[in-house]
Each structure stands twice: as C-alpha cells, then as structure tokens.
Amino acid sequence: MITLRKITLENRRELFRLEVSKEQQKYVASNLSSVASCYVLATNGGSPLPFAIYAKEQMVGFVMIVYGNTGYDQPEMADNNYCILRLMIGEQYQKQGYGREAMAKILDYIRTFPAGPAKYCWIAYEADNIVAKRLYESFGFCENGEIYNNEPIAVLEL
Ligand SMILES: CC(C)(COP(=O)(O)OP(=O)(O)OC[C@H]1O[C@@H](n2cnc3c(N)ncnc32)[C@H](O)[C@@H]1OP(=O)(O)O)[C@@H](O)C(=O)NCCC(=O)NCCS
C-alpha cells in the first residue's frame, strides 16, 4: 500500500539518502536538491507540493508536484496547471510496482486540485527515458510535440 507523506524533521535525512542508480542520475535531480528547490520556490510565490512515497512504513521514493510556475523555463501551459516535476523510486525499491502505484496516488491527489483549479497535468522527461515515458503513457499522458530544454513534454487532461 503506497501513501504520499509530508516531509518532516524526522524523515528528511532518510529522504536525502534515497538515490536512483548511477545511470539514472541524469534523469532526476537528487532529493536534497529538489527539496532545496521547493524551499526557494515556496518562498518566492510558487506552489511546490513535495512528498515522500511510502510502501507500508518503508520510504521508497519522492515526488515533487508543482502548481503553476516551476521556477524553470517552462511551456506556456504551465500556468494554472500541475506539473510532476520530479519522481523517483530508490534504486533498491524499483521494479516492484511502487512507481506505478505511486503514479496512481499522485494523480488521485492532483485531481483534488490541492493548490488551485487546473485542466492539465504535464511532465517533461529525457527522450531516452523509455521506462518513464511508457509509465506516463500508460496513465494517458500524450506527448504534445513540444520540446522544452531538450525534453519532450507529455500532457494529461485532468
Ligand atoms: C521511473 C521510475 C519512477 C519507475 O519506478 P518503479 O518503481 O521501478 O516502477 P514500477 O515497478 O511500478 O514499474 C513500472 C513499469 O516500468 C517497468 N520498468 C521499471 N523499471 C524498468 C527497467 N529498468 N527496465 C525496463 N522496464 C522497467 C516495469 O516493468 C513496469 O512495467 P508494467 O507496469 O507495464 O509491467 C523509476 O525507474 C525511477 O525512479 N527512475 C529514475 C528517475 C526517473 O527517471 N524519474 C522520472 C523522471 S521524469
């Protein structure tokens, strides 16, 4: 059973230690860097929604959802829409179905429109990240032809 839980003073160090494999590091920033970005975004008018991903009581991953401005160059559609800016499952917990179950929970959560109304959720990923691309497509995300910072963008109507 996957749950999305708040990052706390108690679990933050465990989150910072959670890593993807060496080969996957080009696909996602470290959790430490992402949480730092959340702080900067939140203190500059942005709406980051970061969560630790748990399988039962074990922390297995991290997700950073953002509403509106992501703090980076972004497509026009970012305004008033949700972005899954980061998603990772720790190397030792991958290929056990947690990523798929987490995506379902993440989309359920986004569909509660926690930071404001939206029509779309979008994701950008490296073109060669086939595992991520297939996972997102299986939830209905479709590439819209836009390339941002060399990354294709896939969009889901909420
Ligand atoms: C993408 C990621 C979150 C998937 O997490 P996961 O827990 O391994 O995913 P699951 O176990 O739920 O598997 C999801 C699907 O991907 C497939 N898959 C997972 N890892 C795979 C791999 N290394 N090679 C081939 N297929 C793989 C699974 O077989 C499964 O397919 P199915 O559901 O159609 O049977 C994880 O690989 C990851 O953290 N990657 C590095 C960071 C990253 O790329 N994040 C996305 C940035 S946009």
Distance (Å) from CA 27 to ligand 1 centroid: 12
Distance (Å) from CA 133 to ligand 1 centroid: 9
Res 75: pLDDT: 86
Helix residue ranges, H only, the chain? 12-17, 31-42, 98-110, 130-138
Per-residue pLDDT of the chain (158 residues; tens, 9 = 90+): 999 999 999 999 999 999 999 999 999 999 999 999 999 999 999 999 999 999 999 999 999 999 999 988 888 889 999 999 999 999 999 999 999 999 999 999 999 999 999 999 999 999 999 999 999 999 999 999 998 888 999 999 99
**CA 25 to chain centroid:** 15
CA distance 130 to 126: 9
Q: Against a cut of 0.85, is the pTM above it?
A: yes
Res 73: pLDDT: 80
Res 76: pLDDT: 84
For ligand 1, what atom is nearest to the CA of residue 89? 39
Distance (Å) from CA 48 to ligand 1 centroid: 23
Res 10: pLDDT: 98
**All domains in the chain, ordered by first residue:** 2-157 (3.40.630.30)
